[in-house]
Amino acid sequence: MPGVGAFAAVMQGLKEVDALRMIGRRVAGGRPVMGICVGLQVLFDEGVEHGVRTPGMGSGPASWNASTPRWCRTWAGIPSSRRKAPAFAGIEDERFYFVHSYGVQKWDFDVTQPAMRAPQVTWAEHGSRFVAAVENGALTATQFHPEKSGDAGAALLENWLKTLG
């Protein structure tokens, strides 16, 4: 899913090509989907940019909260205590390239079906705490850009590809 753009524009673009239905069907069928940067943010119920609320995909069995403004342009590590996702296996001490104006700073997970398990959420800090990655079955999403994160990003993508097979 898209790695660059404003929340509202990305949602509009996804709607125009019927991608919301296609992505939803892939996830429901256990087929892999990866979101990068704003591709992570649009998974949430809504995004708020410049005071404008835009409905998001709201995927998953959770109440996911809106993005909040937070400028971030940095190479950052993710503390081991917050790195739970399998995508990070073998790259525990690496740094990743973050560049975003908004980020998800609040996560309220409300499982409505006892058989459901909570997604694995990885947090990072740069001025404040924010969601760096989410893994939930076939769905993987990162706030950072693995494609711009050098060897660490390539290793993360390789880890994700290994889960496909």
Q: Which residues are catalytic?
A: 37, 145, 147
The DSSP secondary-structure symbol of 9 reads H
- Which tokens go with 6? 């404003």
Expressed in angstroms, the distance from the first to the final Cα of the chain is 20
Query: CA–CA separation, 22 vs 163, rounded Å?
Result: 20
The three-point CA angle 91-138-14 to 5° equals: 105
Amino acid making up residue 63: S
